[in-house]
Structure 1
Amino acid sequence: MIFTETKLKGAFIIDVKRIEDERGFFGRSYCKNEFDEYGLNTNVVQTNVSFNKIRGTLRGMHMQTSPFGETKLVRCTRGGIYDVIVDLRPDSETFKEWIGVELTADSFRMLYVPEGFAHGFLTLEDNTAVTYQVTQFYTASAEQAYRWDDPAFNIEWPFEPALVSGKDQAHAPFEDQISA
């Protein structure tokens, strides 16, 4: 695997190192030893799948709070997404900064999202599926979410979403949540 650290410390883009021949290619999408070499969390306890019927479906920005904070390894298994993470670690040099990465089924690219980051994505195609491995079990009481268009982050999505759930539209602004 090829690990590329992003401008957000601890967040990595991971590409499959391909061994190609006339049949196609072979590569690893996960290896505990390689993740350990980078000091990444390998305690995967759950794998989630998100299926999205229409292009422009937006999910986010979600996270779980401590002590149930989760690390995610995100991969698009069908179609494509614009995957976004926001660093919400208060002591981080990149606090409230974000990155966006295009993940497609054809690229096999993944995004490693450390604990303390909000995560969301916008589908680029109809019938898009996303799989993510997480290091904590879902805990409803630890769920935290922020608006996808929150001015505190100024995320530049590639286009206006066509579908955002009522729940994701109703999140309070970041600044209101931290001052409460």
Structure 2
Amino acid sequence: MPTELRATAIAGVLELISQPFQDHRGAFLNAFREQEPAFAEAWGDRRIAQVNLSRTDRVGAIRGLHLQAAPHSEAKLVRCLRGRVWDVAVDLRQDSATYGQWQAVELSPEQANALLIPEGCAHGFQVLEANSELLYLHSGTWVPEAETGIRWDDPQLAIAWPLPMSELSDRDRALPFLSGL
């Protein structure tokens, strides 16, 4: 079955819902296939510059909200391989009608969904199930000097995280508020 593409309230932030093939042996899922219409529409002509895996052990842990600043902006396609996460995109594109707004989608292998976060949007997530693993496709390479983000608890954003925060890196604690960008 083809992948379904769902638009969100933020332009360019898209949820992709795939249908795995299942039989008595298990399941097979196309995590990304450039010629499939939904992937082609969502990803466009971007290249895949890197693929990353992450595992987060503790329920309630938050990673983010991260992005690469221009001119090193990148799109990300994020898929949960194990567990469940609450995945968040925040629009930080100055010229966007939805600047400062956020969109969240629960990702899990059972839902077989992914979230596309376009260039200029920050990304983060909260772990809903222990030992959650994510697969990321990035359209750009990591440039340490371009790495930035905003605070997960920014009152201007008022992100409705589903669980109390249990763990956060020192780097994420030091990120600026939206008003400081």
Same fold (TM over 0.5): yes
SS in 2 for 1:168: helix
Any unmatched runs of 5+ in structure 2? Answer: none
Separation in 1 of the partners of 2:9 and 2:127?
23
Is residue 72 from structure 1 mapped to residue 67 from structure 2 by the alignment? no
The aligned counterpart of 2:100 is: 96
Separation in 2 of the partners of 1:60 and 1:105?
21
Separation in 2 of the partners of 1:38 and 1:117?
15
C-alpha contact (below 8 Å) 1:36/1:42 kept by paired residues: no
Q: How does 1:15-54 map to 2 (within 5 A)?
A: 15-34=17-36, 35-38=39-42, 40-54=44-58
The aligned counterpart of 2:147 is: 143
The aligned counterpart of 1:131 is: 135
1:37 deviates by 3.6
Paired residues, number:
177
SS in 1 for 2:180: helix
Q: Could you report, residue by residue, the CA deviation over 1:27-70 in whole angstroms, capped at 9, with x for unpaired residues?
A: 42212123334563541110111111111110000000111101
SS in 2 for 1:47: strand
SS in 2 for 1:61: strand
Separation in 2 of the partners of 1:101 and 1:23?
29
Is residue 121 from structure 1 mapped to residue 125 from structure 2 by the alignment? yes
When residues 11 and 52 of structure 1 are mapped into structure 2, their CA distance, relative to the original with a 3 A threshold, is: same
1:11 deviates by 1.1
C-alpha contact (below 8 Å) 1:32/1:42 kept by paired residues: no
When residues 7 and 137 of structure 1 are mapped into structure 2, their CA distance, relative to the original with a 3 A threshold, is: same
Separation in 1 of the partners of 2:45 and 2:132?
27
Q: Could you report, residue by residue, the CA deviation over 1:120-155 in whole angstroms, capped at 9, with x for unpaired residues?
A: 000011111111010111101111111001112111
SS in 1 for 2:104: strand
After TM superposition, the score normalised by the length of structure 1 is: 0.91
Separation in 1 of the partners of 2:11 and 2:51?
24
Is residue 173 from structure 1 mapped to residue 180 from structure 2 by the alignment? no
Give every structure 1 segment of 4 or more consecutive aligned residues whose post-TM-superposition deviation is greater than 6 Å.
none
Separation in 2 of the partners of 1:117 and 1:29?
22
Separation in 2 of the partners of 1:42 and 1:130?
20
C-alpha contact (below 8 Å) 1:72/1:134 kept by paired residues: yes
**Which is worse superposed, 40-49 or 120-129?**
40-49
The aligned counterpart of 1:152 is: 156
Any unmatched runs of 5+ in structure 1? Answer: none
